[in-house]
Structure 1
Amino acid sequence: MANDTQIEALTGKALLKKVKDLENLSKEEKAKACGYYTLTKNGVERVNMMKFLNALIEAEGIQLDSTQGTNGRGGRSASYRITVQSNGNLLIGSAYTKQMGLKPGDEFEISLGRKHIRLKQLEGDGEYYEDDEE
């Protein structure tokens, strides 16, 4: 390893310029040169391609998480499907919480059915939130 200090990950225009300057390198080498890597306890370098690619997308001004309906161009729409993770947890993504206008600290009561899980939003006083759309 040539140096022991990790550079700060580039973002925005600086990231785009650096990637263009390194056009002859592999994508892993570009990611590393732009600071998108970590060092393990054993000193092994691990390139974080997902963070690198997400930073490139953001630097280009492309929005993948859209709060507006999609018209076939750009953005992602919520699939309304989730999968149980390997640790047994369910993770509800930010696309759904943003769509509902939820904020950190909002509380829900969980009720389990035979083949379903229902979340009921609670008001700050523990009462149920009445939603007109149901």
Structure 2
Amino acid sequence: MAKVKQPVQLSGDALLQKVKELEHLSKEEKAKACGYATITKNNQARVNLMKFYNALMEADGVELEAKGSGKGGRSASYRVSVQKNGNLLIGSAYTQLMGLQAGDELEIRLGRKHIHLRQVGADDEE
């Protein structure tokens, strides 16, 4: 079986220009015409719309991921659980939000149904 050469995937200004020229076509037909389709082992055309959309957004200058941070992870839920040993562990997401550094001291204030943590030496904002 002869291997079929895949079309070159357009990107950047060439992709934007081609999409403008093909505005009368469906999104699948645009993706195919711009090279975002492959032929499967069963000789079926498969359009990769996600890759096409990502290339369009990149060509248009839309940044989906912050470059340079390289950090993923979970977002803060503002809930913690008491550990088996009775300790409360405050995660790094919260210490970063508060701008805390290693060695900073916190004052614990107990309320009827809550616990307040205040940085020692911080101005009263309440």
Normalising to structure 1: TM-score of the pair?
0.48
- What's the counterpart of residue 6 of structure 1? 6
Q: Distance in 2 between matches of 1:42 and 1:12?
A: 31
Q: CA offsets, 1:24-81, max 9 Å, x none?
A: 000000000000011110110000000000000000001111259xxxxxxxxxxxxx
- Determine if the alignment matches structure 1 residue 96 to structure 2 residue 98: no
Indicate if the aligned counterparts of 1:10 and 1:34 stay in contact, CA closer than 8 A.
yes
After superposition, residues 44-59 of structure 1 pair within 5 angstroms as 44-59=44-59
Query: Are the structure 2 counterparts of residues 59 and 44 from structure 1 closer, same or farther at C-alpha, using a change threshold of 3 Å?
Result: same
Aligned pair 1:16/2:20, yes or no? no
Report the 3-state secondary structure (helix = DSSP H, G, I; strand = E; otherwise coil) of the residue aligned with 1:23.
coil
Distance 1:6 1:95, change over 3 A: same
Unaligned runs of 5+ in 1: 69-93, 98-131
Q: Taking CA–CA contacts closer than 8 Å with sequence separation of 6 or more, which of the two structures ends up with the larger relative contact order?
A: 2
Question: RMSD across aligned C-alpha pairs, in angstroms?
Answer: 2.8
Larger Rg: 2
Partner residue in 2 for 1:26: 26
Equivalences for 1:34-45 in 2 at 5 Å?
34-45=34-45
Give the aligned residue type for 1:12. Answer: G
5+ residue gaps in structure 2?
A: 74-101, 104-126
Checking the alignment, whether the CA contact within 8 Å between 1:11 and 1:56 is kept in structure 2 is: yes
In the superposition, the TM-score normalised over structure 2's length comes to 0.51
Shift of 1:95: 4.7
* Misfit runs of 4+, over 6 Å: none
1: distance between equivalents of 2:62 and 2:44? 32
Q: How many residues matched?
A: 74
Q: What are the residue-to-residue correspondences of 1:73-92 with 2, within 5 Å?
A: none
